[in-house]
Amino acid sequence: MIDIILAILSTIGALSILFASIGVLRMPDFYLRLSVTVKASTLGVGLLLICAAIMFPDDVSVTTKSIAIIFFLFLTAPIAAHMIGKAAYFTGTPLWKGTIVDELKGMYNKETHCLESDPKKAHEDPEAECKQLKDQATD
Amino acid sequence: MSLEAYFDFVILPILTISVLLVFIRLFKGPSVVDRVIALDLIITIGIGIITVYSIRQEQEVLLDVAIILALIAFLGTIAFSYYIEKQEDD
């Protein structure tokens, strides 16, 4: 019975990792690649780690380590994806030609790296509000 | 088919093929950020491979390496994105 559960979990995990790697190879655009990679690979590695936790039932340390790694991956993967996506948007990585809407267009001030809700405001008044926010953050 | 043979002949080859596919993207990658996420994905798949290997060899010590790799992947991606964003300023 445990063998069947392990086989099912590891199969789903390995297949989702395979789909993530096919997606990162075949998707037309950086942002689509990013969105495929993070979700599918986190799911796959999480399922494989659950397999390891089931496989060593006597050993509490393995379960603890597996849960720690899963927790860490779930915590850090979205943060890393957000950071690298933001850096890619600033450096002007091109969008796919089939992209319909780019809601961030013109809302980032390229000088101060601040996000405005109004596209006009981001360019006409670059210094005032944004700098104030940054000073508060450093204090 | 026993579970050991299943891990050896199905799961590990699937993971190996995944790493090879991501390596193609690492070489091709049109921009730096593509390479960064390819490297991140390779390390994440490496964690999976280490997990399956530790199940097969019944060596639970190898999971410690997986923890360190998860840390390094996160720190590497954060550092890359930080410096890519800084580079644009100059």
CA atoms in the 13 A half-sphere facing the CB of B27: 5
pLDDT level of residue B44 (50, 70, 90 thresholds): very high
Nearest CB among B6, B25, B51 relative to A48 is that of B51
- Is residue B76 within 8 Å of A73, Cβ to Cβ? no
pLDDT at residue B30 in the model: 86
CB < 8 Å to A34, chain B: 37
Lowest mean per-residue pLDDT among A47-61, A118-132, B24-38? A118-132
**Residue A62, both tokens:** 């393995």
Helix, strand or coil for residue B89? Answer: coil
Helix, strand or coil for residue B2? Answer: coil
Nearest CB among B33, B51, B84 relative to A49 is that of B51
Domain ranges of chain B: 3-87
Strand intervals (E) in chain A: 108-109, 114-115
Helix, strand or coil for residue A61? Answer: helix
Q: What is the nearest CA distance from A127 to chain B, expressed in angstroms? A: 16
Calculate mean pLDDT across residues A70-88: 91
- Is residue B22 within 8 Å of B42, Cβ to Cβ? yes
Tell the residue number behind the tokens 């993070």, with chain if given: A38
Q: How far is CA A34 from the centre of its chain?
A: 7
This model of the complex carries an ipTM of 0.91
CB < 8 Å to A21, chain B: 17-19, 21-22, 41, 45
Q: Residues with Cβ < 8 Å from B86, sequence gap 6 or more?
A: none
pLDDT at residue A126 in the model: 52
pLDDT at residue B88 in the model: 59
Long-range CB contacts (within 8 A, 24+) of A54-61: A54/A2, A54/A5, A54/A6, A54/A9, A55/A6, A55/B55, A56/B58, A56/B60, A59/B60, A61/B60
Contact B10 A21 (CB under 8 A): no
pLDDT at residue A120 in the model: 65
Calculate mean pLDDT across residues B35-61: 92
Calculate mean pLDDT across residues A71-79: 92
Local structure of residue A95 (DSSP, 8 states): P
Tell which wins on pLDDT, A90 or A33. Answer: A33
CB < 8 Å to A36, chain B: none
Alpha-helix runs per DSSP H in chain B = 3-6, 12-28, 32-57, 62-87
Please state, in angstroms and rounded to a whole number, the distance separating the CA atoms of residues A17 and B44: 9
Q: How far is CA A9 from the centre of its chain?
A: 23
Nearest CB among A6, A52, A65 relative to B3 is that of A6
**Residue B70, both tokens:** 């998860």
Calculate mean pLDDT across residues A59-64: 88
Contact A88 B31 (CB under 8 A): yes
Residue A108, Ramachandran bin (φ over 0: left; ψ between -120 and 50: alpha; else beta): beta
Contact A69 B85 (CB under 8 A): no
Contact A3 B3 (CB under 8 A): yes
Calculate mean pLDDT across residues B72-85: 91
